[in-house]
Structure 1
Amino acid sequence: MGRWQPDARGRLARAALELYVERGFDRTSVAEIAERAGLTERTFFRHYADKREVLFAGSSELRDVLANAVEQAPASATPMDAVAAALEAAAAVLEARQEHARQRQSVIDANSELQERELIKLASLSATLSDALRQRGVDEASAGLAAEVGIAVFKFAFRRWVDRTEDKELAQFIRESMADLRAATADR
């Protein structure tokens, strides 16, 4: 066992994703993940509550990025402009991890329990955006609506990015999706 090697958490995450892609989430055990990573099950549980959490461990970092970006948006920014800035900040974090994101999404798409957990994560991100907007003085209804619409834009852009429908960065997909939204809601 390579217990003395650094980055146990990262090794566990990589091993889990590899096994989930190879065997499927349901057919992969914590013991197999730990073995692939060269660690023990006990070490696994020091880093993750269960095998689902390996796929959702970055959620708190993403919430922080979103909240900070909304907070740092110019005072003149509309709620949707602040949300757009937050989504682009999140895209910058995710961009270097496209292959990981693609594999992670394929595992989630293949498992209804994980799809439910992903929806919970997205609801948490929406709540973070809404809270950050309210901190800027946006009323509750407008903050909630802007946050929910922002997450819908993010989901649409993220899917196009992980599906590799076009060779673009996630931020570009987000900008295009925001522009499409504005066009769809413009008075004609």
Structure 2
Amino acid sequence: MARWQPGAPQRLVVAAVDLFTEQGYDATTVAQIAERAGVTKSTFFRYFSDKRELLVAGQETLSRLLADGITEAPADAKPLEAVAAGLERASSAMGPANRELGPRLKAAVAASTELQERDALKSVGLAAAMTAALVARGVPDPTAHLAGELGVLAFKRGYAQWCDGERDEADGLAPYVLSALEDLRAATASLG
């Protein structure tokens, strides 16, 4: 291996997603991921317990950013306004690398039942983080759960639209997720 280089976790995620897309999740080994990323297997296991965990790299950070945004929303913010603040905070941490990785990650997840299950667990974790932050603000439990779930759905829809959209460097994720949240808010009004 070459001399140590920074960014090993990010390189491992990109290498894994590329390999999952090229040859499938089941056919990809940890050794191949490590080799593609330019690190050793022991370095891989320093950051990830197994190859499934690559899919949720950054989940803790994303959950924290969502919860922090909700916590720091104005005291008089309604639940979905607080969720919007959380989405905006989390979106600010997503850059061009996340946008480029999105379509490949989507393809890899679509091709693997195991990755679909892990992705679903990631969504549950994000919703739980938002729900807990809303409950801490005094939002009643059922309302907090619903708002948290809508927040996850808005994030996923907005992220997909952002990744599929034109590649304008100045175009950040926040407008996409906030627009998706507004669409969902309007849709709930039509439920009756």
With the length of structure 1 as denominator, give the TM-score of the two structures: 0.89
Q: Which residue of 1 aligns with 2:18?
A: 18
Specify every segment of 5 or more residues in structure 2 that has no aligned partner in the other structure, as ranges. none
Q: In structure 2, how many angstroms separate the alpha carbons of the residues matched to 1:10 and 1:152?
A: 25
| Corresponding pairs, count | 188
CA contact 1:3–1:38 (8 Å) conserved in 2: no
Comparing 96-105 with 108-117, greater Cα deviation is found at: 96-105
Q: Which residue of 1 aligns with 2:27?
A: 27
SS state at 1:25 partner:
coil
Name the amino acid aligned to 1:77.
A
Q: Which residue of 2 aligns with 1:108?
A: 109
Deviation at 1:3, TM superposition (A): 4.8
SS state at 2:92 partner:
helix
Q: Residue 184 and residue 8 in structure 1: after superposition, are their counterparts in 2 closer, same or farther (change >3 A)? A: closer
Q: Residue 33 and residue 132 in structure 1: after superposition, are their counterparts in 2 closer, same or farther (change >3 A)? A: same
Name the amino acid aligned to 2:148.
A
Deviation at 1:106, TM superposition (A): 1.8
SS state at 2:94 partner:
helix
Q: Which residue of 2 aligns with 1:181?
A: 184
Percent identity over the alignment? 45
Specify every segment of 5 or more residues in structure 1 that has no aligned partner in the other structure, as ranges. none
Deviation at 1:5, TM superposition (A): 3.0
Q: In structure 2, how many angstroms separate the alpha carbons of the residues matched to 1:7 and 1:166?
A: 24
Q: Does 1:146 align with 2:144?
A: no
Q: In structure 2, how many angstroms separate the alpha carbons of the residues matched to 1:47 and 1:27?
A: 21
Name the amino acid aligned to 2:117.
E
Deviation at 1:85, TM superposition (A): 1.3
Q: Which residue of 2 aligns with 1:48?
A: 48
Q: Which residue of 1 aligns with 2:77?
A: 77
Deviation at 1:8, TM superposition (A): 2.9
Deviation at 1:132, TM superposition (A): 0.3
CA contact 2:67–2:133 (8 Å) conserved in 1: yes
Name the amino acid aligned to 2:49.
A
With the length of structure 2 as denominator, give the TM-score of the two structures: 0.87
SS state at 2:28 partner:
coil
Q: In structure 1, how many angstroms separate the alpha carbons of the residues matched to 2:187 and 2:9?
A: 44
Deviation track 1:98-154 (CA, whole Å, cap 9, x = no partner) reads: 001222222112211111111110111000000001111111111111111222222
CA contact 2:154–2:180 (8 Å) conserved in 1: yes
Name the amino acid aligned to 1:55.
L
